[in-house]
Structure 1
């Protein structure tokens, strides 16, 4: 049975919800790495917990912007998978597994091709194993777009999307004001460092769309996406990238059971990410909470040992025998 999320009194703030899990991470279970060569000559790494045997399910975990297996939510999800005895694998975006990817291009919020390739490979290796997936933040947007763009051809039996910036332009604008700028600065610096490494790589220098001096001036997501993400990935600019990559445009086309979880106080979001009923497929269950922050959902415990809502909810949905989600929300209503 689903439990409504309610934060403890000491974690009602969206920033406590967002930052606390980042500080107090659980120990990461032991994983082993599989390198996956891509058709374009690049690679991505998969970090495995266990192995699927005798047709057992596989949970694919898709991390957020500049995340990886070390991310707090990935660690907790791996632990939960271990508890219920299913294999799990973290799908790293290009360049996020601790080693720079080979090409000038990297990854972005609408890049479903690498995920589709991973899923096709898993289906080839383990044809009898049902595939499930959970995507967080940027990874959630990728997963939502994959589900909608693939429609009945999705290789996933069920999926969960958590704290996804489904309307990318509005989310980029949100991060330019208030305390949210702290998150933007933190992530932009990480992106700049990674791009600087590529500018300094002899084989890639001429392929870079900007210089070192120009890179240091890109202090917002909009500027970074307009001058780096868009040209490296075939978009006309940031607006073109946001329009074509926003997951909200694909929700009505989803044909496999998919749960979307948002918090209305998410400091990365605005209400523009909340879909209307007309934007949702009958196969999408939409859960909007008043509190929770960004990939937070601290449900209890104490600040130094928090307990969380997400893992039980995700596993319960993915392993549910109910194949017909109904459109509804928790605590709040759809945007009309």
Structure 2
């Protein structure tokens, strides 16, 4: 009996169809990446590439008009760390974050607990608390500038409390401008963070509160020993989002104080913006990388602290 040549046997072997199970397994692996591909492309073009470009510029003496740059190593970073304006911007950013972070953690949580009650008309309050989130920042900034003006309601209210002897615009006082802008940020994000807490509250089993109530626990004790520990994952999310947003705060300041008075509200992003306006692209890029590293480090630290807190509560 004649045997087929070896080359024909190899061709027949290669032509055999791929088993159906292998094709299904390959499609299972490929399908998620196909869905992620548009997001990956968008992030790659508008996020990763600009970061890489900024990383390159931070080590060059880049001239944007001539589109040329000479390698200078770490000279841009040395210039930044010897710039008093940079340290002022960094301190202002940290102070701003120290004001906003605890407010964004506590106030939305309290509001979420209140609107989570089964009372008549609670849906209206949820809408009212969320309205600032969908209000354009330009409109919100103009409204708050009017409220903060000498003839505004806030100024008159502070005079009636005896805080000031005469009407005072908080946005033009170096001692109060940063806190006044921080109040706008807290007000703007209050409803958004409330929704995050509200989702966490509705995932807590009702029988836990019923058991605590039967045991004689007060509402405050239930809030302290049940609500807060069960909302630790939500607290972590809100904290990280607040840190990132606080580190890159810009619109509120640009629309109200523009970094003034006397640099009292100049944050890191305003510092970077001013450098870009003066076409000092290399310094701006280096400062942007420093801001990115600070935001990542602060977020990781907050996640570590809240994770440790969650472990202690479980123990």
More helix by percentage: 2
Give me the TM-score of the superposition, normalised by structure 2: 0.26
Q: Which has the larger radius of gyration?
A: 2
More strand by percentage: 1
